[in-house]
A and B are shown apart, each in its own frame.
Chain A
Amino acid sequence: MVQATAPKPDIQVAAEDRVGRHDRRRLADREGFLAWAMLLPSVIYIVALVGFPLLLAIAFSFSDVTTGDPSFDWAGLSNYQKIFGDPVFWRSLLNTIIFTVGSMVLIVVFGKILANILVADFHGKWIVRFLVLLPWTTPVALSAIAWLWLLDSIFSPIDWMLRQVGLINGNMYWLGRPSLAMLSVIAVHAWRLIPLAAVIMMAGLVAIPKDIQEQAEVDGGGYWRRMFEITIPLMLPLIAVAALFGAIVTFTDMTVVYVLTRGGPTNSTQVLSSWAFFRGIEGGDIGQGAAVALFLFPLLLTAAILILRAVRRREVL
């Protein structure tokens, strides 16, 4: 502050100075304001690119918008009537549940086993850690293409190995038979997400205080008893987090299905998100696609709330 007119008494200047400094400090100390200022860019971005498209998608599901005719006309519930009357929709819903539950079980069980291996001490630990993380760090589309060939109907190396061992004679047609195709899709998806679950669970595993384990060992608890009565209960919140992430990614994912089977054979691996994609983007019926995809949201919300509540209850206990 520059005083151009009459110079002020020293005391007043000092007071103003103090007030000025005080104000400046207050701005940096006003956490409410700061928190908003730091949060706002993200909130704007999310509203613009998630909130708005979400509302738009909800609006689309009540309209007759297609890629050929993007004009918006109100169509009421007719899209919903159409998808509910479509057996493929119910098939996809069932498949989505099988796909999610199946991969979640695999992810949690093998994620736990893998986490146990990775925290153990052995030679070559770092190379094993590196190799084990590959499925997760590689883009899905790439690894799914590798699996497409590994599961090929004629040249599948997996079949070749099974033939060498003498388990089969011809081919398994992994992606050609409905139940095997579902199994393959679940296995590939689980293969991709197990490393992520293992890393999350490793955090839980190393966080368990050593003295609890040692006490149990002194008391004569064997490996399995310690595993099921100490390690797993103490890790439960993190196992739930891993399962939640796995479930969300599985529920909304369509890459594995899209690359491996395109929903086939005869829609036996069609999941809701791939069905929405085929309907809405490839089939061009955006209204119906949006209605199918919208159906995922409440299911996901319920699952997430249930798991979060389960985690909270365990922490309170």
Chain B
Amino acid sequence: MTAATVDESIKADASVEALRRRAIRRHRLARVGLYLAAIAAALVCAGPFLWSLITAFKQSPDLYQRDNNPFLYNLPSTRQHVAYLFQDTAFLTFVWNTLWVGVLVVAITLVLSLPAAYALARLDRPWSGPMAIAIFFVYLVPPTLLFLSLSRLVVAVHLQDNTWSLVLVYPQKRSEGHRGAGHGGRI
């Protein structure tokens, strides 16, 4: 090796080293930014729930103090709100209603919409494209518009003040959602 090439290779080494350092620095910065962004996203999304959880166990006098830290227990925590929920309200009835209505609605939705989705996506009739779009447009009908007349309809089938009316009415919106999702790629 001549002196000139040695000199050049040293220079090249130095510049490679500088590039490498810059790449590492940029990579580290990107990682820190990513973690900060992820933490911020988690906090913004879950913050209200965290705050609700803390607040549920706070004493009322602690809540009604404008300058108390809303994220800490300024007074000892209490279980009285939870006790109230179970003892003085029909909370368990509400939970039970939610559960059985939810399960039935999901069952009805699946029974109705799975074969329909299969028919539209796999059996691929000439009319299945327009049909899928027609069903998608059903999704556009504002619920406000429907519950005005559905409230009349529910009275007509004698289900007013009855939880079964929910079982009847709910799957309507859901089923389209399923098909919409199944067809997401095509519409």
Contact = CB atoms under 8 A, between A and B. Distances in A.
Contacts of A57: 145-146, 148-149
A157 B71 contact: yes
Contacts of B45: 131-135, 191, 194-195
Contact of B142 (A34, A117, A135, A296): A296
Interface in A179-238: 191, 194-195, 200
Interface centre among A41, A46, A124, A311, by most chain B C-beta atoms within 10 angstroms, is A46
A248 B131 contact: no
B101 to A, nearest CB: 13
Given A39-B131, A134-B49, A138-B49, A117 B145 contact: no
A273 B46 contact: no
B35 A114 contact: no
A251 B142 contact: yes
Closest 6 CB pairs of A and B: A38-B115, A157-B70, A293-B145, A56-B149, A131-B46, A38-B119
B153 interface: yes
Contact of B119 (A39, A143, A157, A195): A39
A70 interface: yes
Contact of B35 (A36, A70, A122): A122
A53 B146 contact: yes
Interface in B129-187: 131, 135-153, 168-169, 171-172, 175-176, 180, 184, 187
26 contacts: A31-B125, A34-B119, A38-B119, A39-B116, A45-B171, A56-B153, A60-B148, A60-B149, A122-B34, A122-B35, A134-B46, A134-B49, A143-B49, A150-B48, A154-B66, A157-B71, A160-B67, A160-B69, A251-B142, A252-B142, A252-B144, A276-B144, A281-B148, A289-B148, A290-B145, A297-B142
Given A120-B34, A134-B49, A42 B113 contact: yes
Contacts of B137: 301, 304
Nearest to B53: A146
B91 to A, nearest CB: 13
Contacts of A308: 187
B38 interface: yes
A194 B34 CA distance: 18
B18 interface: no
B41 interface: yes
A54 interface: yes
A290 B148 contact: yes
B64 interface: yes
Contacts of A290: 145, 148-149
A294 interface: yes
B105 interface: no
Nearest to B52: A146
A62 B156 CA distance: 20
B95 interface: no
A120 B35 CA distance: 10
Interface string A34-77: 11111101110110011011101100100000000010000000
A177 B77 CA distance: 34
Nearest to A223: B30
B51 interface: yes
A38 to B, nearest CB: 4
Contacts of A281: 147-148, 151
A276 B119 contact: no
B32 to A, nearest CB: 11
B55 to A, nearest CB: 7
Contact of B149 (A34, A37, A53): A53
B93 to A, nearest CB: 17
B10 interface: no
B38 A54 contact: no
B125 A117 contact: no
Interface string A111-128: 001100100101011011
A79 to B, nearest CB: 12
B144 A31 contact: no
A146 B116 contact: no
B53 to A, nearest CB: 10
A53 B169 CA distance: 11
Contacts of A104: none
Interface centre among A41, A42, A252, A304, by most chain B C-beta atoms within 10 angstroms, is A42
A45 B142 contact: no
B1 interface: no
